[in-house]
Structure 1
Amino acid sequence: MQENSLDQQIQAVRQCISELTREAPADPRDLLRAAENLAAAATRVEEERQQLRDLIWSSPDAFVATDAGGRIIDANPAAASLLGSRCRATLLAACCHPDAQPDIARMLADLRAGHPPCGVLSPRRAT
């Protein structure tokens, strides 16, 4: 999911606001214009975040978001249907086929390194 990227964009907007307040222009109209531009940018980022969330939430494909330790922190309805409605707070590895463990380890390593992890995992089959 690209929420991490959106979080980075929001952080960048906040950093710009911080820099503007330290280096305020002499003309208050310039500051007002800059504040309006930043507010518009923050609104666009939030709209993009919501569009992405809506797209993922309505997707027939299963999407999960995990923390760096591999614990599921969010799952769209397709994932909840596949993994069980109580999949939140569960380790992703516990929901997937044992053969997927190396892929999970690689994805978590990517996540910890700040790279967007992406992959396809097979669910654990009920026995």
Structure 2
Amino acid sequence: MSAIRYSKEHEWVLVDGDTATVGISPYAQEQLGDVVFVELPEIGKKIEKGKELAVVESVKAASEVYAPIGGEVVEVNNALTDAPATVNEDALGKGWFAKIKLANKSELDGLMDEAAYKAYVASL
């Protein structure tokens, strides 16, 4: 069973201690199409759950990536600046957007596990 949790907005979270790595799901990147640009948050930025974390532009549209949890941005994936297509190639791995120091671990309780997320996507 994967430790990754998902939001209804198609972001994923992988927690390690008090830090969460955040990205978009394979479903989200498929819906976007070829990603051509990623705007990442600044390190040190305080993020609220449900607020904009990043922006992804694809050949189809520009879309906001919402923070599935709140906290402080402690690291960003600068590799996406030069290679935004990494989001398409490895959404759950090298295509992560930011690492956030968790402000409130209980916010994770509202996220879905992999089985619940797959069922949710199947219902769309």
Q: Give the TM interval when normalised to the shorter protein.
A: under 0.3
**TM-score for both structures, normalised by structure 1:** 0.27
RCO comparison, higher one (Cα < 8 Å, 6+): 2
- Structure showing greater Rg: 1
Q: Considering fraction of residues, name the structure with more helix.
A: 1
**TM-score for both structures, normalised by structure 2:** 0.27
Q: Considering fraction of residues, name the structure with more strand.
A: 2
